[in-house]
Structure 1
């Protein structure tokens, strides 16, 4: 999935942002299913919930793995949540409509 591969090291996107970038607005759960089946071929660790939380259960091995992978890229993760400076933009659609000539960040 090119939308996930386009997320650079040290960056995060929400499932909804990835879905919108892939031309599938409103399909965040589909993104989660694709990532779950990617068997590590995609940088899945760069995709988090819209509020910055890691989607795995707190304290789970998967949550620890995702937090460690993000921290290795310089992303600050505190208590299973990406620090505010790294969180995805909350209103991607509004941002896109206001600036049609710029790609999403």
Structure 2
């Protein structure tokens, strides 16, 4: 559990101001975290779809494609993915 989630879970009993002070976070940061929750959830869903596409390209190549070819394979789909987009750790190091 992160500190923001802790504040959200206990805010009714102890108050946001008090919890933020104890945990050493700014109240504005907590409120920003709450306001952007929907965006984070959408990004996580998009990352999960991207991870599935990367695994599929890797499996189709019998494990021979590296990052450049996987990136090219991702970009043949309808949606393009920038090469600098962070990639989740999907495959074991080998």
> Taking structure 1 as the reference length, what is the TM-score of the superposition?
0.28
The structure that has the greater radius of gyration is 2
As a proportion of its length, which structure holds more strand?
1
> Taking structure 2 as the reference length, what is the TM-score of the superposition?
0.30
Q: Which has the higher contact order (CA 8 A, sep 6+)?
A: 1
